[in-house]
Amino acid sequence: MKEENYIVFDQYLQNEMTLTEKIAFEKQLSEEPEVAADFQNFKEVQAQLENKFTVDAERNAFKENVKSIARTHFKPNKKVIKLKPWLYLVAASVVLLLGLFVFNANSNPNFEDYNHFETAHFVERGHETTSLKQAEEAYNAKDYLRAIPIFESILKQNKTAEIQYFYGISLLQTNKIQEAEGVFNGLKLGSSVFKNKALWGLALIQLKQKEFKVCKDILLTIPSDDENYEQVQDLLNKLD
């Protein structure tokens, strides 16, 4: 998580932005996958903090300390706040404190620990088309917002399981959860080599949303002879 962003994230979640600032921030989330991913991680930290601080007095005191730092050192802006070099110590200290609480608060696995999908190699498999090459390059560069419309265009002409799978991953990476679920659910009902990969994708969707029981239930449906079963078993062990 980038230290210079977390105050803005907190302002958004606490509904402390003006309407103009909120619209600008949401536009930034839709256009910048890295910021969107950082924001998702920040929300997960907040959720874990809620689990840690079961005593309201402690939780409120901690939040007041964070807000005090924000009021003292930061001013609201339409864009993500950039800290002056000497202020990084302030942000880093709070982030470190958050990290220590999270480390001790919850032993559940984190989505980012397993967010390592394979790269795409469409062209190497004989599909020599401009669109496929563009989709491959955008996806492998993690430019998912650019890859999504290319995948959608390809799927109108050639609805292969392979393209659907990488399209589903791109949707997941940009937090289009319902759309990603729809794609993976369709693949899991088929008989292609991407069936078990789709189950893994569905499990990670649940992990990302902290739905640990549902995640475990999905993982248990993946057969032990799956080529990636080692990571399935690893995640199952951490969910126990």
pLDDT tens for the chain, 240 residues long, are: 455 677 888 888 888 889 888 898 889 889 888 888 888 878 877 766 655 554 455 556 666 665 565 555 555 554 555 444 434 444 555 555 555 554 444 568 999 999 999 999 986 555 557 899 999 999 999 999 999 999 999 999 889 999 999 999 999 999 999 999 999 999 999 999 999 999 999 999 999 999 999 999 999 999 999 999 999 999 999 998
Q: How far apart are CA 69 and CA 98, in angstroms?
A: 14
> Which among 204, 141, 217, 197 is positioned nearest to 177, based on CA atoms?
204
Contact 217, 209 (CB under 8 A): no
In the prediction, which pLDDT does 63 show?
60
In the prediction, which pLDDT does 78 show?
47
Query: Residue 57's domain spans which residues?
Result: 3-106
Q: Are residues 135 and 74 in the same domain?
A: no
Residue keyed to tokens 């919850």 = 106
Q: Are residues 36 and 133 in the same domain?
A: no
Q: Are residues 43 and 101 in the same domain?
A: yes
pTM: predicted TM-score of the whole model, two decimal places: 0.58
DSSP state of 223: -
Q: Where is the domain boundary, 106, 136, 157?
A: 106
Number of compact structural domains in the chain:
2
Q: Are residues 64 and 125 in the same domain?
A: no
Q: Where is the domain boundary, 49, 76, 106?
A: 106
In the prediction, which pLDDT does 7 show?
81
Q: Are residues 86 and 117 in the same domain?
A: no
Q: Are residues 64 and 129 in the same domain?
A: no
Other beta carbons less than 10 A from residue 3's beta carbon:
17
Q: How far apart are CA 83 and CA 87, in angstroms?
A: 6
Q: Where is the domain boundary, 74, 106, 138?
A: 106
HEC secondary structure over 54-65? CCHHHHHHHHHH
Q: Are residues 131 and 211 in the same domain?
A: yes
Q: Are residues 154 and 232 in the same domain?
A: yes
Burial readout 201-222 (b: 16 or more C-beta within 10 A, e: otherwise): bbbbbbbbebeeeebbebbeeb
Q: Output the domain CATH number for residue 135.
A: 1.25.40.10
Contact 201, 181 (CB under 8 A): no
In the prediction, which pLDDT does 84 show?
46
Residue keyed to tokens 């005090």 = 68
